Amino acid sequence: MTQPNNSTGLLQGKSGLIIGGTSGMGLATAHQIVAWGGRVIPASSNPQKVEAALKELGQAENFPALTVDAKDRQSLEECVTKAVQALGQLDFVCYFAGMLRSGPVEKLDEALLDEAFALNAKGALWTGQAAFPHMKERGGAIIIIGSMSSHFGWGGTPSYSITKHATLGVAVNLANEWGQYGIRVIPVSPGVIITDLNRDILTKNKPRTDSFITRTPLDRLGETNEVGSVVAFLCSDAASYMSGAPVFVDGGMSVRGAYPLKFD
């Protein structure tokens, strides 16, 4: 992972929680937040990963290792409450939790769709609701990680695409209602980002990976820190007039369409 930019105290005095913050884009965001002077607690369902992330961030002695089941409303509420107790305030919450399963839409079953809704969309909503009482009087930022498939059809991953559309709906509705309290809610839509979870798949399935690159004007896939730096920025006061509208971190993929231009 590329080292975070530590040239500014952009998040000095800010404290927050990242659900799904122990790997990939979530952990990259945590690194950038710390580099910019913020305090952050990374939470996930795996206690070993939580402890490892806290050590990696240099925060193991400062904050508890919080585990959370992002499909369970009560678990999310308890995680937010414990984070506020440990931090003393809540300026931002980032929701990175999610799941992706492949398969044709004609074989999508109800159990898989329900699980995806619980994690991708409902979990984002319950996290926002849990954060709301702590932000209502002071304002804050809620960053919800969507996807390119929040906006477009994405063949072969129907449970993911359908529920990521719903995730975008959660963010837009929270932004619309809570802006009056100074709470900014921003959906972020990454493009194809290389993570530890998909690195082998991207390497082995070269034709598909090449097709992603072909559809990306920057002619490459993204890195986790490139999403992390954007999310960290959105948590700061420098993004104080940004809310509701999706932020694409996709190398331009969303504007290219199906037929990229190639010039010799």
The pLDDT, as a whole number, for residue 98 is 86
**Average per-residue pLDDT for the chain:** 92
Q: What is the value of pTM for the model shown?
A: 0.92
Q: Which two tokens stand for residue 111?
A: 């159990």
- pLDDT greater than 70 at residue 147: yes
**Averaged over 19-46, what is the pLDDT?**
97
Q: How far is residue 99 CA from its own chain's centroid?
A: 12
Give yes or no: 164 in active site: yes
Contact 74, 124 (CB under 8 A): no
Tens digits of residue pLDDT in 59-112: 989 999 999 999 999 999 999 999 999 999 999 999 999 888 878 889 889 999
The pLDDT, as a whole number, for residue 203 is 87
- pLDDT greater than 60 at residue 263: no
**Averaged over 213-230, what is the pLDDT?**
95
The pLDDT, as a whole number, for residue 3 is 67
What structural domains and CATH numbers belong to the chain? 15-194+224-250 (3.40.50.720)
Distance CA 98, CA 78 (A): 19
Distance CA 37, CA 18 (A): 16
Q: From the candidates 44, 160, 189, 243, which is the catalytic residue?
A: 160
Which of residues 222 and 151 earns the better pLDDT score? 222
Give yes or no: 147 in active site: yes
Contact 254, 30 (CB under 8 A): no
- pLDDT greater than 60 at residue 262: no
Q: Which two tokens stand for residue 174?
A: 């929270």
* Other Cβ atoms within 10 Å of 242 Cβ, number: 14
The pLDDT, as a whole number, for residue 175 is 98
Q: From the candidates 164, 229, 236, 243, which is the catalytic residue?
A: 164
Q: From the candidates 15, 44, 147, 229, which is the catalytic residue?
A: 147
Tokens 């404290």 appear where?
A: 15
Distance CA 33, CA 26 (A): 11
Give yes or no: 160 in active site: yes
